[in-house]
Chains A and B, each alone.
Chain A
Amino acid sequence: MMEKYNRRVKAADVTTPQSSQYGFLTGLSPQSTLPNFKQNEFSVVRQHEEFIWLHDSFVENEEYAGYIIPPAPPRPDFDASREKLQKLGEGEGSMTKEEFTKMKQELEAEYLAIFKKTVAMHEVFLCRVAAHPVLRKDLNFHVFLEYNQDLSVRGKNKKEKLEDFFKNVVKSADGVLVAGVKDVDDFFEHEKTFLLEYHNRVKDASAKSDRMIRSHKNAADDINRIASSLYTLGTQDSTDLCKFFLKVSELFEKTRKIEARVAADEDLKLADLLKYYLRESQAAKDLLYRRSRALVDYENANKALDKARAKNRDVLQAETSQQLCCHKFEKISESAKQELIDFKTRRVAAFRKNLVELAELELKHAKGNLQLLQSCLGVLKGNT
């Protein structure tokens, strides 16, 4: 009996961006037909830290060592936008009223867009958890979704952050050691080499796509300023040029909006995709690490058992320990294999969807731009 698990996460009414200064709030309205949920539809408000708590609880849970833990959503970053808004406020005196209101509106729209995107990324995280046959049953997950009070999850304090830092250092050093161990299993050996290279290249592609998109945004901003200047020139000019300038200014206003949309869509379909798979490939690498760790433990347990048998001391203890390690290793291996295969399927599907949508959007915008340009040229040439 297939559990029909229909989960819909709906963001709360997005209030004015100021409220997000104090943490990320989102309302979730999961609908589920799972018997162990007390209601069918309910909503709670969660902060970003609480998502991180949930993610970390998965990572620290030994039971889930054999799964790719869905990557945590990134911290909402409104700093850049807030800074721009502040600078705009300071520069208010140096531009005309129209320019100021226009730029303010745009910045607010940008702020809102980032907000929405962040909400979406948190949603994706939860949906991934909900789609996972094992993780969706996690108790913390249920508490997260149902408990309609604050979870009192505090962010990690300095000591804990330091601990995390050292844990990571140890892990990466260990990871290097562990990675050196050649795996007899071809599948995993291949996956290891593949993931290592893939992860690095996705990282690079993600960074480069970000830079490309930023240049695009900058160009769109310039076109905005050009449109304003042309408008002023048009209103000031006393010759034939006045109508001409006004028309071209109008054109650039419109094409600028399209260029900004192109940058935004590239960001959504390409940059975000790459960022997400950067995080997922890291999670997959972590899985491989855990498996290799378990393998090493298993091999060490084997050696210990041999030694114990040789010395005929603590044999039983060594045997139990070896069996545990073996069991752990096999369990991880089995689920890891499936997880990695699923990862590939998901990856291919996501890339396909996003690349197709990217191409379609690019086409739509280019055609829009073309139409605007051609119709404007028609008017301009017709008049002269």
Chain B
Amino acid sequence: MADTVRDPPPDGTDFHELEDGEELFPEPAAAPEESQPASLPAEDISTNSNGPKQDLLFDDDPEDLFAEATEEVSLDSPERDVLLSDGPSPAITPITPPTSVITPRIGHAHDDMFTHSSFDEIEEEEGGDSFDIHISVSDPEKVGDGMNAYMAYKVTTKTSMSLFKQKDFSVKRRFSDFLGLHSKLASKYLHIGYIVPPAPEKSIVGMTKVKVGKEDQSSNEFVEKRRSALERYLMRTVKHPILLKDPDVLQFLESSELPRAVSTQALSSAGLLRMVNKAADAVNKMTIKMNESDAWFEEKQQHFENLDVQLRKLHASVESLVCHRKELSVNTAQFAKSAAMLGNSEDHTALSRALSQLAEVEEKIDQLHQDQANGDFYLFSELLGDYVRLLTAVKGVFEHRMKTWQKWQDSQMLLQKKREAEAKLQFTNKPDKLQQAKDEIKELEGKVQQGERDFEQISKTIRKEVSRFEKERVKDFKTIIVKYLESLVLTQQQLIKYWEAFLPEAKAIS
């Protein structure tokens, strides 16, 4: 039954099993270890008392692994820390980890809490691999000429995971390849509730400048921005345990030749189709009125809505800071030149020298401002931009859940109608029509059940995805903001050095 839980998105059956394995909460009954369930911190979902109980209503099938899992969770005292399902995978999954792997890990469950998500632990279980992969995007190279030219980026993967054929390898990819990858992943996973990281945005203006061959600062900056964005995109994608294993991702990283993703072009027919679909979606969103029986989802949606608003605001302020900092750098450089000229024309020797020194200090400071502006941008601003885009993906999965619910409701209503029609047919003497109706009803009943299962599945997936997303968010913001503050520290230290060197010069004026 577990196999038919969802529409088959990936190719290959190992995928199914892996997914099952990853979704599981520790089952006290099946678990060979004696770890007390109560000691395992509860998953975030239990903070909302509605959540687990609701699930219980659906999961009365004893074969369904989820049933006991949710029971187990609701028994725990809801804690805000995230659960590590470091228990063993249940019997159903063919890849049962050796018991020896289990016990040691319980010990460092808490240590790893902030460095690995629950999925990573499951990774460890299954392949004996830790999450060890680092991707870098580098060496942008212009290929071709004129309007057909493009930038080729070198994508280097360094990993010790057995998932990959080699430990250290690289390939050449162009921007549309990245877009193609995202498009494939989105079509496979978004509609079943996985938060697929969005690809960097296209920029017709930026690319045209590069194509035309302008070798100036702004086009260099554009390429660097893009390179950095592509790197972050890939790292985010592989951090997702499901996406990491997707064959498209593996092919993207490993294979030397990749079929051109033509459908990513904005003006292609696929592009136009996308635009039409987006418009249709927007209309649909407005018309779906879902009976939200699970307050957790409503709460989370509101939370993400608020977060979106605030992040956009913050992002705008940081972008403004980057802009003003760059201006400050330029103006400081100009002042430095002016001060140097003033120093030249000053006829008092000591003052003249001091003014020249001032000019030198200001010149160094202008470079400092330039570097800081880059820090502002690449660390702070891009982090915020990435999360604003990620939140659209998050909102997307919530919408898909609504659509799934709608589909379920629609089949239910249709079933109802058919049943009514069948009841009426009972009183007429049309045996073949009756049989047809009965057949249709049978079919619809199956559809309704499927719809219900799909809805449950996507709800479950979203809960886990949201918890993983939030963990990643906390980690990302903490790490990057700390890095940003450290960059600010460096700037101040340099400033101190420069002014300390200047002060005696100023005092030496007699």
A residues whose Cβ falls under 8 Å from a Cβ of B: 190, 194, 197-198, 201-202, 204-205, 208-209, 211-212, 214-216, 218-219, 222-223, 225-226, 229-230, 232-233, 236-241, 244, 248, 251, 255, 344, 347-348, 351-352, 355-356, 358-360, 362-363, 366-367, 369-370, 373-374, 376-377, 380-381, 384
Contact = CB atoms under 8 A, between A and B. Distances in A.
Contact of A198 (B325, B345, B350, B485): B345
Nearest to A355: B506
A359 B499 contact: yes
Interface residues of B, number: 59
B75 interface: no
A201 B506 contact: no
Given A229-B313, A229-B314, A384-B478, A201 B321 contact: no
B314 A230 contact: yes
B474 A239 contact: yes
A248 B331 contact: no
Contact of A239 (B321, B337, B470, B496): B470
A201 B341 contact: yes
Contacts of A362: 495, 499
Most buried by A among B303, B492, B495, B507: B492
Contacts of A197: 345
A240 B470 CA distance: 10
Interface of B: 80, 114, 303, 306-307, 310-311, 313-314, 317-318, 320-321, 324-325, 327-328, 331-332, 334-335, 337-339, 341-342, 344-348, 350-351, 354-355, 358, 470, 473-474, 477-478, 481-482, 485-486, 488-489, 492-493, 495-496, 499-500, 502-503, 506-507, 509-510
Contacts of B314: 226, 229-230, 233
Contacts of B344: 201
Contacts of B334: 208, 211-212
Given A226-B314, A230-B314, A236-B310, A201 B338 contact: yes
Given A248-B485, A355-B358, A360-B503, A384 B338 contact: no
29 contacts: A194-B345, A201-B338, A201-B344, A204-B341, A208-B331, A208-B338, A211-B331, A211-B334, A212-B334, A223-B321, A226-B321, A239-B473, A241-B473, A241-B477, A344-B348, A351-B355, A351-B509, A352-B351, A355-B509, A359-B502, A360-B503, A362-B499, A369-B488, A370-B493, A373-B489, A373-B492, A380-B481, A384-B478, A384-B482
B509 A205 contact: no
Nearest to B492: A370
B362 to A, nearest CB: 8
A205 B345 contact: no
Contacts of B114: 384
Contacts of A222: 317-318, 320-321, 324
Q: 7 shortest A-B CB distances, which residue pairs? A: A215-B328, A222-B321, A229-B314, A352-B509, A355-B506, A370-B492, A208-B335
Given A204-B338, A208-B338, A215-B328, A356 B486 contact: no
A238 B348 CA distance: 63
Contacts of A205: 335, 338-339, 341-342
Given A198-B345, A236-B310, A344-B348, A351 B496 contact: no
A366 B506 contact: no
B345 A238 contact: no
Contacts of A369: 488, 492
A120 to B, nearest CB: 22
Nearest to B361: A359
A237 B304 CA distance: 10
Contacts of A344: 347-348
A265 to B, nearest CB: 12
A366 B495 contact: yes
Given A236-B303, A358-B506, 19 more contacts: A194-B345, A204-B341, A205-B339, A205-B342, A208-B334, A208-B338, A211-B335, A212-B328, A215-B328, A218-B324, A219-B321, A241-B477, A348-B348, A362-B499, A363-B496, A366-B496, A374-B489, A380-B481, A380-B485
Contacts of A190: 347
A229 B478 contact: no
A377 B482 contact: yes
Contacts of A223: 321
Nearest to A226: B317
B306 A212 contact: no
A172 B327 CA distance: 36
Nearest to B503: A359
Contacts of A209: 335, 338
B500 A225 contact: no
B509 A380 contact: no
Contact of B481 (A218, A237, A244): A244
Nearest to A364: B499
A208 B340 CA distance: 12
Contacts of B496: 363, 366-367, 370
Contact of B317 (A208, A225, A374): A225
Query: Among the interface residues B114, B318, B344, B485, which one has the most CB atoms of the partner chain A within 10 A?
Result: B485
B482 A381 contact: yes
B354 A351 contact: yes
A133 to B, nearest CB: 23
Contacts of B506: 352, 355-356, 358-359
A380 to B, nearest CB: 6
Contact of A241 (B337, B474, B495): B474
Contacts of A240: 474, 478
Given A218-B327, A233-B314, A377-B489, A366 B499 contact: yes
Given A229-B314, A377-B485, A355 B499 contact: no
B59 to A, nearest CB: 27
Contacts of A208: 331, 334-335, 337-338
A376 B493 CA distance: 16
Given A201-B345, A223-B321, A362-B495, A212 B477 contact: no
Contacts of A384: 114, 478, 482
A200 to B, nearest CB: 8
Q: Which of B313, B337, B510 has the most CB of A within 10 A?
A: B313
A241 B347 CA distance: 58
B341 A348 contact: no
B503 A363 contact: yes
B347 to A, nearest CB: 5
Contacts of A360: 503
A377 B345 contact: no
B311 to A, nearest CB: 8
A212 B358 contact: no
